């Protein structure tokens, strides 16, 4: 209960404060790595502090509490046959971008290349690519879709201006030669995902369609004892199956290494 209270409190605080971290300015990295306002790379484990009954186990048929479903979605969910779905080899449809980060398990986040952040999930053995620039053509719709990312900085930081005129890209603050180079505001990661093939928003058959779009915000915070948290806010919009946006928040704690990494196939 103490852990639950602490995580809820820190999840709220992230909306009001940002972590100040050193400016990553290695010459051999891209602008997106050099000026990352938060460090997402490494190992993270999901801490289930809400919706345990629908995230840790498959919810009972007909349990749609908290979902603003259209009549079309209700009809599809009521007709859902989980055994037939599983036997048809469609279990991974419950591990698409619309709900992957709600699945219990671990994440490994790394730079795929200079312009692309990669998220690997051991649940369902899924991977997502977040493109900051030079994104390939979207191609055919897929479970993880096509994701475009951008850093959003607190304090009005402008990385392009900082590159052209060092010291002038950091918001409204007046900088001079005595200002430490490490000083910069924090921020968050913003992601828009489209070109989805559809999937399950809940494992008891609640669908989201290929017309769905997913918006995500990745924030980090550090507790006084050094514990680091990643808070992911996910917004799913689907005009066919949702009356309004469906918003959820998922918490992950940083781990020191990958000793807990446990890849396992999609299951439902």
Read off the pLDDT of residues 220-264 as tens digits, 9 standing for 90 and up.
999 999 999 999 999 999 999 999 999 999 999 999 999 999 999
pLDDT > 50? residue 158:
yes
According to DSSP H, which parts of the chain are helical?
2-13, 31-34, 52-55, 71-78, 82-87, 159-164
Of 17-21, 36-40, 128-132, minimum mean pLDDT range: 17-21
Q: What is the DSSP letter of 116?
A: E
Average pLDDT over residues 27-45: 89
Residues 6+ apart with CB under 8 A from 28: none
pTM of the model: 0.83
Q: What is the pLDDT of residue 185?
A: 55
**Residue corresponding to tokens 């399950």:** 200
Distance of CA 11 to the CA centre of its chain: 14
Average pLDDT over residues 45-73: 95
Q: What's the rounded Cα separation, in Å, for the pair 207 and 98?
A: 10
> How many residues does this entry show for the chain?
268
Half-sphere exposure of residue 108: CA atoms within 13 angstroms, side-chain side: 14
Q: What's the rounded Cα separation, in Å, for the pair 145 and 107?
A: 18
Q: How many helices (H) and strands (E) in the chain?
A: 6, 11
Q: What is the pLDDT of residue 27?
A: 54
CB environment 182-206: b (16+ within 10 A), e (fewer): eebbbbbbebbbbbbbbbbbbbbbb
Among 250, 247, 216, 218, residue whose Cα is nearest residue 46: 250
Q: What is the pLDDT of residue 167?
A: 63
Average confidence score pLDDT of the chain: 86
CB 202 within 8 A of CB 179: no
The confidence band for 28, taking pLDDT boundaries of 50, 70 and 90, is low
Burial class (CB in 10 A: 0-12, 13-18, 19+), 102: buried
Domain ranges of the chain: 2-255
């Amino acid at each position: 209960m103490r852990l639950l209270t602490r995580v809820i409190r820190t999840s709220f605080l992230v909306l009001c404060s940002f972590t100040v971290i050193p400016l990553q300015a290695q010459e051999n990295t891209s602008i997106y790595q050099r000026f990352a306002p938060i460090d997402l790379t490494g190992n993270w484990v999901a801490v289930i502090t809400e919706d345990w009954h629908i995230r840790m186990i498959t919810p009972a048929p007909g349990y749609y509490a908290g979902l603003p479903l259209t009549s079309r979605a209700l009809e599809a969910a009521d007709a859902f046959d989980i055994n037939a779905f599983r036997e048809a080899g469609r279990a991974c449809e419950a591990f698409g971008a619309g709900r992957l980060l709600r699945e219990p398990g671990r994440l490994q986040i790394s730079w795929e290349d200079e312009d692309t952040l990669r998220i690997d999930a051991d649940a369902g053995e899924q991977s997502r690519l977040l493109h900051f620039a030079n994104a390939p053509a979207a191609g055919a719709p897929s479970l993880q879709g096509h994701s475009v990312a951008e850093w959003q900085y607190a304090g009005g930081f402008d990385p392009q201006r900082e590159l052209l005129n060092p010291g002038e890209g950091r918001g409204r603050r007046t900088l001079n030669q005595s200002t430490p180079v490490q000083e910069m505001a924090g921020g968050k990661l913003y992601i828009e995902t489209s070109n989805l093939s559809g999937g399950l928003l809940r494992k008891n058959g609640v669908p989201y369609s290929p017309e769905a779009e997913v918006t995500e915000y990745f924030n980090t915070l550090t507790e006084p004892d050094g514990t680091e948290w990643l808070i992911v806010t996910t917004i799913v919009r689907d005009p066919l199956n949702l009356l309004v946006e469906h918003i959820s928040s998922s918490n992950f704690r940083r781990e020191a290494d990958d000793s807990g990494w446990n890849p396992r196939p999609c299951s439902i």
